[in-house]
Structure 1
Amino acid sequence: MSKVSCDVIKDLLPLYYDNVCSDDSRKMVEEHLSECSHCKSQLDNIGREINLPKETIEQNLKDGNAIKNIAVFFRHSKLKSFIIGLIGAAALFTIVFLAFTYPIVDVPTDVAKITDVSQLADGRIAYHIQLTDGYELHRIKYNTDENGNFYLTPKRPIIKKKQMIGASGFANMYDTFDDFLKTVYRDKYGANAEIKALYWGNPKDNILIWKKGMNLPKASEQVENECKLYN
């Protein structure tokens, strides 16, 4: 058999070490190793690389587990951050939505103008309300007390919306003190309860519209027509 080069033997050494080479290859490698100290040293190195000390193996396992734990933590952190971000975005959207739409702020009386307080032919009390700051009014809330005071409290969202020029609505309208308000009051305080004063605003900031015993002028034809149109 011709002499085999070290390069060929080096290619066969891993197979020889794992005992997966053919019998002829094994015989060839062993014959070469008996004469070549360099290749024998290469075989020893393969053994040292594979047969790691127990401490090294345990440390590698610990390092592997640590890396795995870091990866799991990172995935969980990303998920947690995503959920927190989603909740934050939803909360911000809700706050902005409420700020634009939900009427929670009382409109101050210094921007309210009450005129044409008079008595209609059917006995109802009429008045005209106009807000002079140019912003819309979204809602009128009823506030009452047991002393006969009835407050028409105007409400707006935190972020105000401009009123359209010439538009009618809560911010520019005729309204009346009628049986509906009396029913609201009696439902709360009893069948014999009586409204004695009607205010625009709230208990701390208000404009008197009507008070029991007040002498009111007869409503003009214009007021009569406006109240028929909107009431």
Structure 2
Amino acid sequence: MAGVVMAKSMPKSMRKSMSKAKSMPKLVPKSVPTCVVGAARRVLRAGVALGVVGLVVGAAAPVPKPKPVAPAVDPHEADVAQHGSLTLADGRLTVRLTPQNHGPSDVADTTLRLVWSVPLTDRQELPAGCVRSARTTVLCRTGALTAGSRGDEIVVPVRLKGLRSEVSVRIDTLWNGGAKDINPDNNRHEVLVLETGDVYTF
């Protein structure tokens, strides 16, 4: 009764508003179809499975081994040598030699040193590229020597002071363009020459 009295005592505008609210449809959330939920679950499971497979494949992938690196060749390494012959007759000793470069690098120039065991006469006629540096020593340039090649033959005739029955001659490389000689034994020679006119090779 009190509720009725209260409703009657409400203003007319308020009673209309409450009547409209009662007549509005209720917003009840509809249930999601089962097929949609199932599809979403399958997508989620597939994504997780792919992630696991990716991790397994990544872990099992072989790590490439580094390729062996060939040792670098020293650009200043060269095996310089010289070979030739000597003869002694009538106080005149002649040296014939051919410089060689066995490689592996080219050489711009080399200087050979020839040392006699006895003094030379003051006047000498030396070939181009050769100079006298001491009483018993002559230096000769070979010119450029490419790897695996031979240079031009160098002929050095000298006159000795007095007649000698034998003379020792030492031949070596004084300078090889700053290259590291990996086999210095083949450019150092010492030859004993008898005054017979015979040819002595080295």
Fold shared, TM-score > 0.5 on shorter chain: no
Larger Rg: 2
Task: Normalising by structure 1, report the TM-score.
Answer: 0.32
More helix by share: 1
- Greater percentage in strand: 2
Scaled by the length of structure 2, what TM-score is found? 0.35
Higher relative contact order (CA 8 A, sep 6+): 2
